[in-house]
Amino acid sequence: MLPLRIVCFGDSLTLGYLSPTQDLPFPEHIPYGAYLEEWLGVNGDVVIHGVCGETTQDMRTRFQSQVLDPLPQVVIILGGTNDLGVSLPSATIFENLQFFYEEAQIRRILPVAVTIPSLREDIWQGGASADAQVKGDLPHAIQQAIALRVKLNQQIQECGSQRKFPVIDWFAETCESTTQALALEYSNDGLHLNVAGYRKLAELLWTQVLENLIKQ
């Protein structure tokens, strides 16, 4: 088959933003798409269009030029984290995501939806300890933020089921089973993923979608 052309479309989580740490004092980017490109080899090309800070409304302004016009075979769509951060209505966020899925399908591009990952209290200074989160003692604000993600992710899953496109449940694969907060092993700032988190998404995409596509 011809090389598989893939566009990774989204915000800083698509860009692979890594928060600075003591060992790495400057921000770095390790996008999940880089793993996919390595594993695809001669079987595909990956273009990464991730912009830090963008909402799904912002993403709509570049969807035509970066996804629809180039006509890749696959577009991986990940957005909504920044929308929730600025308290945009869930209905608006889902409407924008649904627009991406439907417009891609109209042009015979396979949309692959990714659920919005969870978060943990590390995003606030002086928060509860990781032990407290494991015990289920999450602050009310975090519980509400997680509940909004769960609701939106259910809508994404239902849309994928109805419209027959794959959905990668990154939320479920990177959250703690007891609290549904983002697992400590996958994030060092409570919001962005770390190297292990981005690689986890790449592995899920590879095993659940792309590996089968390149065999066709």
pLDDT per 10-residue tile (average), the chain, 216 residues: 90 92 73 97 96 97 98 98 96 98 98 97 51 57 94 98 98 96 93 95 98 87
Length of the chain in terms of residues written? 216
DSSP per-residue codes, 146-179:
HHHHHHHHHHHHHHHHHHT--EE-HHHHHB-TTT
**What does the pLDDT read at residue 136?**
52
Predicted local confidence at residue 216, as pLDDT? 75
Instruction: Give the pLDDT confidence score for residue 132 in this predicted structure.
Output: 44
**Would you list the domain boundaries of the chain?**
4-212
Q: What confidence score (pLDDT) does residue 76 get? A: 98
The per-residue pLDDT for 19 is 82
Q: Is 182 helix (H, G, I), strand (E, B) or coil?
A: strand
Which pLDDT score, from 0 to 100, does residue 146 have? 96
Q: Which CATH superfamily groups domain 4-212?
A: SGNH hydrolase (3.40.50.1110)
Model-wide pTM > 0.95: no
Are 27 and 21 within 8 A, CB to CB? no
Res 62: pLDDT = 98
pLDDT at 24: 67
| DSSP assignment letter at 166 | -
Q: What is the pLDDT of residue 20?
A: 72
Name the pairing type of β-strands 17-18 and 28-29: antiparallel
Interatomic CA distance for residues 137 and 51, integer angstroms: 33
**Nearest 5°: CA angle at 163, between 159 and 168?**
55
Cβ neighbours for 75, distance < 8 A, ≥ 6 positions apart? 6, 7, 8, 9, 67, 100, 104, 109, 110, 111, 112
